[in-house]
Amino acid sequence: MTQRDWIEKDFYRELGVASDASADEVKKAYRKLARELHPDANPGDAKAEARFKAVSEAYGVLSDEKKRREYDETRALFAGGGGFGPGGGFPGGFGSGAGGQGFDLNDLFARAGAGTPGAGGAAPGGLGDILGGLFGNRGAGPTTSPRAQRGADVESELRIDFVDAVRGAEVQLRLAAPGRCERCGGTGARPGSTPRTCPTCSGVGLVSRSQGAFAFSEPCRDCRGTGRIIDDPCSECGGDGVSTRTRTLTVRVPAGVQNGQQVRLKGQGEPGRGGAPAGDLYVKVNVTPHRLFGRSERNPDDLTLTVPVTYPELVLGSTVTVPTLDSTVSLKIPAGTASGRTFRVRGRGVQRRGKSGDLLVTVEVAVPSRLDEPATEALQSYAEATKEYDPRADLLGGA
């Protein structure tokens, strides 16, 4: 994808959102469309598949704040200009050929220099960027065609249980986003055949054209700037090397991952065009809470556990057996321990990078809802025996 595609394609219309739509609105619109148009939901429907690709492409740009700004600036710069015929290259170059509606080169530079904020000079997304994208390769290697464009990043999510999140796990993820076509390996050519070098541009993807005193390079029309001609397209992807078929990926979730964190899979996003690298896949990890254990907010490598104890256990002291994630440990409660106190059991938390978190055990007194008669009598005589002890003495004395 190049900026020339950007000028021709209305990504906002593709997603059915206003051009000032918030990132959230864009995301919502994309999710809805992606669900409706997904190839799994429309088997054999080429139209839906084409729309699915278009919607994914639009989202790839509009979901990326930097790309979206570049896109808006590019569109603003060329809006209303007659320089570009729809889908047909650069009919008049940058001359004023288009019935006075067009702008000339000086005009173009003037607009770019003094135009929208951020469009001038060396600012990101500025003129250099725009012209670089249009006419040349931005510092790309010799094997990269002028249509080179890094693939869009893709977002997905998965759910794992608490124990897997603590220990790390390999999870199979079914992914519906566009990816490298597995049938042709992304070349776009039927397996067994190879694309040939475009004779018009000798594989460069650019041809020269002179316009008055200026010489321009513009994308080769015969190969659409890719530098390659595919005589025998792959039946799976139709020649663009991108498949929307559901893929299954193995995601290695690292030990200690927290709910909502993202795992990045480099190069597993949308394939790049013209030799550019693929985008990345970001997988959000949703962790199902555990019935007993939690993660400490202060240090997520520490696990938390609340253990009910009796009043005599706290007052007299005792040793209780408490569960850890793998087994059990004995916890010594000293005499006179207050309810709500937390004990640290070393080394029984999240293990990662050669370090280990702890298990934080909070004891909490459990009050029986019913007592039989002997117990009630015993408790009453206990109350009688300790009536000198007033836990609220400080509280009221200070008032």
Instruction: Give the residue numbers of the binding site for Zn(2+).
Output: 181, 184, 198, 201, 220, 223, 234, 237
Q: Of 201, 287, 333, 359, which lies in the binding site for Zn ion, with binding defined by CB under 5 A? A: 201
Query: Based on CB atoms, which residue is closest to Zn ion, 83 or 205?
Result: 205
Strand residue runs (E) in the chain: 154-161, 169-175, 179-180, 196-197, 206-211, 214-219, 228-229, 242-243, 247-253, 262-265, 281-288, 294-295, 303-309, 318-323, 328-333, 342-345, 351-352, 355-356, 359-365
Q: Of 200, 217, 261, 296, which lies in the binding site for Zn ion, with binding defined by CB under 5 A? A: 200
Write down the number of H helices and E strands in the chain: 11, 19
Q: Summarize the annotated binding site as residue ranges.
A: 181, 184, 198, 201, 220, 223, 234, 237
Q: Of 27, 28, 38, 183, which lies in the binding site for Zn ion, with binding defined by CB under 5 A? A: 183
Q: How far is the CB of 265 from Zn ion (least distance, A)?
A: 21
Query: Based on CB atoms, which residue is closest to Zn ion, 188 or 349?
Result: 188
Q: Which stretch binds Zn ion (CB under 5 A): 167-175, 178-186, 261-269, 295-303?
A: 178-186
Burial of residue 193, with CB atoms counted within 10 A of its CB: 0-12 exposed, 13-18 middle, 19 or more buried: middle
Q: CA 377, CA 170: separation in Å to the nearest integer?
A: 58
Query: Based on CB atoms, which residue is closest to Zn ion, 200 or 351?
Result: 200
Report how many residues bind Zn ion under the rule CB under 5 A: 12
Q: How far is the CB of 173 from Zn ion (least distance, A)?
A: 22
Q: CA 10, CA 24: separation in Å to the nearest integer?
A: 19
Query: Based on CB atoms, which residue is closest to Zn ion, 274 or 300?
Result: 274
- According to the binding rule CB under 5 A, does residue 333 interact with Zn ion? no
Query: Based on CB atoms, which residue is closest to Zn ion, 102 or 195?
Result: 195
Q: Interface residues for Zn ion in 205-224 (CB under 5 A)?
A: 220, 222-223
Q: How far is the CB of 193 from Zn ion (least distance, A)?
A: 11
Helices (H), 115-187: 127-135, 162-167
Q: Report DSSP state, residue 276.
A: P
Q: Are strands 214-219 and 206-211 parallel, antiparallel or unpaired?
A: antiparallel
Sign of torsion, CA 175 176 180 185?
Answer: positive
Q: Which stretch binds Zn ion (CB under 5 A): 41-49, 192-200, 269-277, 310-318?
A: 192-200
Q: Of 55, 58, 175, 181, which lies in the binding site for Zn ion, with binding defined by CB under 5 A? A: 181
Q: How far is the CB of 220 from Zn ion (least distance, A)?
A: 3
Q: How far is the CB of 185 from Zn ion (least distance, A)?
A: 8
- According to the binding rule CB under 5 A, does residue 198 interact with Zn ion? yes
- According to the binding rule CB under 5 A, does residue 236 interact with Zn ion? yes
- According to the binding rule CB under 5 A, does residue 234 interact with Zn ion? yes
Q: CA 218, CA 147: separation in Å to the nearest integer?
A: 11
Q: How far is the CB of 187 from Zn ion (least distance, A)?
A: 7
Residue 307 CA to chain centroid, in angstroms? Answer: 38
| DSSP reduced 3-state for 196 | strand
First to last CA, the chain: 74
Whether 62 and 15 have beta carbons less than 8 Å apart is answered as yes
DSSP-assigned beta bridge partners for residue 304: 294, 360
Q: What residues line the site for Zn ion (CB under 5 A)?
A: 181, 183-184, 198, 200-201, 220, 222-223, 234, 236-237
